[in-house]
Structure 1
Amino acid sequence: PFVLCAPFIHRTFYKPLGYAGDYEMVNMMIRDPYEGGSIFAKILNRIFLSTPPVEAHRDRLVYLIQLLREETLQSRRRGRPTRIFNLGCGPAKEIQDFLADHDVCRDAHFTLLDFNDETLAYTSKVLGEIKRRYDRPTQIQLMKKSVNQLIKEASKPVGSPAKYDLVYCAGLFDYLPDQVCKRLMNIFYDLLAPGGLLVATNVDDSNPSKNWMEYALDWHLVYRTGQQFATLAPGEARPDLVKVRAVGTGVNIFIEVRKPENG
């Protein structure tokens, strides 16, 4: 109990929104780590926010921002906006930074999904403020939708679904079984336009902080090796256009699936 004085540990353990990895926990990973009501709490908070999985989350943000920039520039060269779909957007920190730091964001159109009302309200407010501050005309649509709803709707298609140049899901697979992840990957692939890119992330089974996360924080993830993650690739994807790789600490792994230009 003595470690609960650290704000990050307290929120992670008690899960006020009912689940781990909520938008405020993500915010805590990014902002000043020296938070807490005492020197001891601040130091403890800093220690936990220096662990490999938290560092991996920050590495993931760098990766995603670069991804947004590269894919948007690619579409700009084709003379059209980049249509981007993100499931489980959370606070969308990568989009916050993309809007603030990269003028090419003007050519991006975002569709962001999350199942939690509080998260959507927060993210809508923050993104709106950044758009006004930097005078960004970027189109952003936020929608309330869960994984189950998305899967259910995909099984009853009505007309032709929208097509996206980039579809990504960063963090959700850490909490979902293989069967659900595989279904989502197939749905995501169907949402891709020809030449589009699908990206998903997972915490690697090598996470050195696994035991203390489960024991001290009651934070349980579905871990996968790179080889296991590769088996979740969409059934229709060409094997030569599927890549699994790690960045930074190696605690986060990424699967990248490019749809052929000929569809």
Structure 2
Amino acid sequence: MRVRGDPLCHPDVMVNSSGTQVPGAPATTVLVVEDEPAIAQAVAHRFSAEGWRVEVAADGPSGVSAATRVQPDLVVLDVMLPGIDGLEVCRQIQAERPVPVLMLTARDDETDMLVGLGVGADDYMTKPFSMRELVARTKALLRRQERAARAAEIAVAAVPDPPLVIGDVTVDRAQRRVTRGDREVHLTPTEFDLLVALANSSRTVLTRERLLAEVWDWVDASGTRTVDSHVKALRRKLGADLIRTVHGVGYAFEPADEAGAGGS
């Protein structure tokens, strides 16, 4: 089912730096995969009011099919779905074509959130959620996608940045690859951006709010738990010894052979 609003009568629009539509390019398409009709319709109508094209799917298989068919710019995906669950839907979507995914979950369970991030989700929200916050986070993800596309275009003609080498960790920003020792570490786009932000300021403590602004382009402090979950996901993949927690403040990237005797 496609939900259209009046702003969608003008197809030549694009998202600007504030996340709203401006003339110049095809409208942003958002796929909402949600089996609760009231939530799906509320989200679809709110997104339509932003000028976005919205596609709605009510179960896992339909969500995968819709992602293939419409090639969305962003997916809002419930975890608990009929057919196949949201984690498997996210896995299949990302395997075919990487796309920003914001997951919705009814359970405020950190393990579930880490699993979601591990299969390629960029962000998550727990139900019940504020529609205003959902729109804000969605716009932030779209802005990140736009910035990444611009950066890729610039990088084609520019001299690539040299890899960051810190301890036994190498971060190749041009190829978006990470190795620790002789082992390549596969990161999601958000995990990679978070690692770059930390590595660019190696041994400097960055607050959660600063990381949220730099990586997610979102300044509401209520999202700092998203930062915590992504840091935990990074630790699982890279090793727990690389990122130091400064309680009540934030995080510092400190490889084991450079870190002091600080926190863990």
TM-score (norm 2): 0.29
Which structure would you say has the larger RCO, counting Cα contacts within 8 Å and 6 or more residues apart? Answer: 1
Higher strand share: 2
